[in-house]
Amino acid sequence: MSPIILIITISTFLTAILSGMFGMAGGLILMTILLGFMPVAAAMSVHACIQLVSNAWRSFLWRRHIVWRVLPPYFAGMVAGFGIMLMVRFVPDKGVVFLAMGALPLLAMAGERYVTLYITNKVHTFFTATILTFVQMTAGVVGPLLDLLYNNAPLTRKEIVGTKAFTQSAMHLTRLTYFGSLVPLVSGQAVWPDSIPGWAIPGFMVAAIAGTSVAGVILHRMSDHHFKKFTRILVTIVCLYCLGQGVRLTFFSL
């Protein structure tokens, strides 16, 4: 097993635990790691593949807590956002991705004081999902931004994790379609990295499922208060690192 595959497998397991506990943060960290080994389009494809499995398994584990009534307007917004991305056909460079991953979640947390959104409001959900789909295709992660829809909603931590996992499964499937199929079709270039052979994918999937399962045990014991508190701390730390990387690559890279 090559060092890259081993690192990605271990990272998948550990970040799946974080995502399973907090409903986000894990994907942000995993994307940061993947960008260290491969180009943006390749990182987007591998990240979407791993996160699709992780979120799908998490939504299965918490299927009894999924709030189904919020899904139709969310998926309608996804379709609109994907349509916008097809018209733009944009693939950002690493500096832009890191800046977006660092800045957008921090702006989302700061905007909580001024923006009040509810996942149970169909209009809020549709327009937010439209924007988030576009952001997902360019920054790779939308967990903290997605939280703007959940923070004011009368939902428990289990409902948040379960519902978010279900919608994110669809979002990652959409991103995998864009970067894995449509981008190569338009550009004529393969985006799946040569350093990741096909036989490694089942290992990533097992690591994602294992990490998500471990997180379920921890989430059972965590209070709603600690859930939201630790999420903010973790996301802030990761975002500051991403901002530093983005500034370095955009303004100081030779």
Residue 8 near residue 118, CB atoms below 8 Å: no
Please tell me the predicted confidence (pLDDT) of residue 183.
Answer: 61
In this prediction, residue 144 has a pLDDT band, given cuts at 50, 70 and 90, of low
| Whole-structure pTM value | 0.79
Please tell me the predicted confidence (pLDDT) of residue 224.
Answer: 62
Reported as a single tens digit per residue, the pLDDT across 88-99 is 777 778 888 888
Residue 145 near residue 97, CB atoms below 8 Å: no
What's the rounded Cα separation, in Å, for the pair 155 and 246? 34
How many CB atoms lie under 10 A from the CB of residue 193?
17
Reported as a single tens digit per residue, the pLDDT across 97-135 is 888 888 877 877 777 777 778 888 889 899 989 988 888
Reported as a single tens digit per residue, the pLDDT across 10-54 is 999 988 887 777 656 677 788 888 888 888 878 888 888 888 888
State the number of CA atoms in the 13 A half-sphere of 61 facing the CB: 25
**More confident: 150 or 129:** 129
Token pair belonging to 181? 């199929």
By CB atoms closer than 10 A (0-12, 13-18, 19+), residue 80 is middle
The identity of residue 207, as a single letter, is: A
